[in-house]
Amino acid sequence: MPLFLGGEQNHVKLNVIENQMKQEKIAVIGSDEVRMWVYEEILPSGEKLTDVINNTHENVKYLPNINLGLNVVADPELHNAVKDATMLIFVTPHQFVEGICKRLQGNVRHDAKAISLIKGMEVKKDGPCMISSLITEILGIECCVLMGANIANEIALEKFSEATIGYRDDKKAAEKWGELFSKSYFHVNIVNDVEGVELCGTLKNIVAIAAGLVDGLQMGNNTKAAIMRIGLREMRVFSKLIFPSVRDSTFFESCGVADVITTCLGGRNRKVAEAFARHDGQRSFDELEAELLQGQKLQGVSTAAEIFEVLKARKWEEQFPLFTTVHKIATGILPVNAVVKYSEHAPRMV
């Protein structure tokens, strides 16, 4: 998610936790240098990815043809990247966050503020654990979230989009993040519902897998819209069951309905799921991800598995036919066309 933020917010040091295995990237421009942790890779040319970013100011592998600005410095050393930082932005695939945070334990400032742009969750023994909570638990710092209808390449080209920041207690930090992220082409709304915002960003990836399957089956627009409605409904019901404080209004923010729409139309989860359906489930998601995303990581399949763990443990499968079906299709338990068959039986009420 490339965001190029204005230079008005001088003297704010923003370090960026970045993992190049995902295309999403953030570049924050203030008067200070912005260090961006980059998972080091050797490119086919034999050069290191960090050297190429620092010499050309372009991430040639994951975000080609976009100028990152002179003050964004790629750093392959995690501890160095966060040293003395007062603001930390997490934008890695969710699968890696816990390991990264454990490596950072004791190495970030106690007064640092964090924000997570990661759309995913972990499931622990005692239930689901949001990524923002994981960051807070391991690092002992407050963590807001930013989610929304934010396809990375489009923001990089400065095409207008909106996003939602969710916070729990630290309204001031949320407002500061809002100032930092806002641009004329990037509008941010702030809501006091960290779990609702984060669950929207997370759960919509499962809906996008379903939308991709529908595309692969060539079911047309009405079916796809029905899948989006059913998916949005399951997102809301699930979120409120897990966190009763979640607000209905959050689902009308960019992080809710807008992210469902954009991801179901143009996201990577949709793309790989479409290919999966076209091959009638005969080629695995892992294989198709490697072929189609070239190093980037899908979130929807692992999120569906994590959510299924919760549904199974709480005997909620029947209440969530779409989430359940997506997981069973992705793991070969159900055929691809089950996405439509089971949705025909989905609850109709809002």
Give the active site residues.
204
Q: What is the DSSP string of 289-315?
A: HHHHHTT----HHHHHHHHHHHHHHTT
Three-state secondary structure string covering 16-58:
EEECCCCCCCCECCCCCCEEEECCCCECCCCCEHHHHHHHHCC
Please provide residue 123's backbone torsions phi and psi, each rounded to the nearest 5 degrees: -115, 120
Residue 155 Cβ vs ligand 13P, minimum distance, rounded to whole Å:
9
Residue 41 Cβ vs ligand 13P, minimum distance, rounded to whole Å:
20
If the CB atoms of residues 66 and 82 are measured against ligand 13P, the closer one turns out to be: 66
Look at residue 90 and give its three-state secondary structure: strand
Using an 8 Å Cβ cutoff, are 90 and 114 in contact?
yes
For ligand 13P (CB under 6 A), the number of binding residues is 12
Q: By rule CB under 6 A, what string of x and - marks binding of each residue 23-62 to ligand 13P?
A: ----------------------------------------
List the one residue from 299, 302, 303, 324 that touches ligand 13P (CB under 6 A). 299
| Interacting residues with ligand 13P between 231 and 270 (CB under 6 A) | 259, 262-263, 267-269
Q: How far apart are the first and last CA of the chain?
A: 32
Q: Residue 235 and residue 229: Cα distance in Å, rounded?
A: 10
If the CB atoms of residues 34 and 203 are measured against ligand 13P, the closer one turns out to be: 203
What stretches of the chain adopt beta strand conformation (E)?
Answer: 14-18, 34-37, 72-75, 87-91, 113-116, 121-124, 127-130, 143-147, 161-166, 186-191
Q: Residue 224 and residue 208: Cα distance in Å, rounded?
A: 10
For ligand 13P, the nearest residue by Cβ is: 267
- Give yes or no for residue 149 binding ligand 13P (CB under 6 A): yes
- Give yes or no for residue 92 binding ligand 13P (CB under 6 A): no
If the CB atoms of residues 20 and 262 are measured against ligand 13P, the closer one turns out to be: 262
Which residues have CB under 8 Å from 40's CB, separation 6+?
Answer: 48, 49, 50, 76
If the CB atoms of residues 19 and 263 are measured against ligand 13P, the closer one turns out to be: 263
Stretch that binds ligand 13P, among 42-50, 144-152, 226-234, 306-314 (CB under 6 A): 144-152
Residue 21 Cβ vs ligand 13P, minimum distance, rounded to whole Å:
13
If the CB atoms of residues 30 and 148 are measured against ligand 13P, the closer one turns out to be: 148
Rg of the chain taking only CA atoms, in angstroms = 19
If the CB atoms of residues 20 and 150 are measured against ligand 13P, the closer one turns out to be: 150
Q: Are strands 161-166 and 186-191 parallel, antiparallel or unpaired?
A: parallel
Residue 232 Cβ vs ligand 13P, minimum distance, rounded to whole Å:
14
- Give yes or no for residue 150 binding ligand 13P (CB under 6 A): yes
List the one residue from 208, 228, 310, 326 that touches ligand 13P (CB under 6 A). 208
- Give yes or no for residue 224 binding ligand 13P (CB under 6 A): no
The structure tokens listed for 313 are 């443990």
Q: Are strands 143-147 and 161-166 parallel, antiparallel or unpaired?
A: antiparallel
Using an 8 Å Cβ cutoff, are 107 and 82 in contact?
yes
Stretch that binds ligand 13P, among 56-64, 72-80, 98-106, 148-156 (CB under 6 A): 148-156
Residues that bind ligand 13P (CB under 6 A): 119, 149-151, 208, 259, 262-263, 267-269, 299
